[in-house]
Structure 1
């Protein structure tokens, strides 16, 4: 049985929100790792893409907002699927 990693965050109201890690992707061109997360709620089908940045020797997740970066990660994710 496969066990998926769950990450918990707090939303803007301070409520705990759980996300499942869909994929962890390394992009050679940026030398960065990315996480694709989805909400564990049954009715949620949105996926969120975060870049893992190291700041002061700690990992920090930053939402990918750059279109070019987003498309490059999406392309790598599709390679994993097919």
Structure 2
């Protein structure tokens, strides 16, 4: 079963970026991405990003976005 097929309350437990509403999810994503951008810009010039870590991070963010997009398409949009 895909994350976007689950009820919101269960999806929240599997992916903490998914909030109790679409607005909460977007706020969670904005805060997370702002923090990650700050970490990337503040790192030392000789430090490289770990590809696997970036890949997992993007999968996590993508899961939350897909969940909200699917809910919007199905008419389950929660403002």
Alignment TM-score, normalising by the size of structure 1 = 0.31
Considering only CA atoms, is the larger Rg found in Structure 1 or Structure 2? 2
The structure in which a higher percent of residues are helix is 2
Alignment TM-score, normalising by the size of structure 2 = 0.32
The structure in which a higher percent of residues are strand is 1
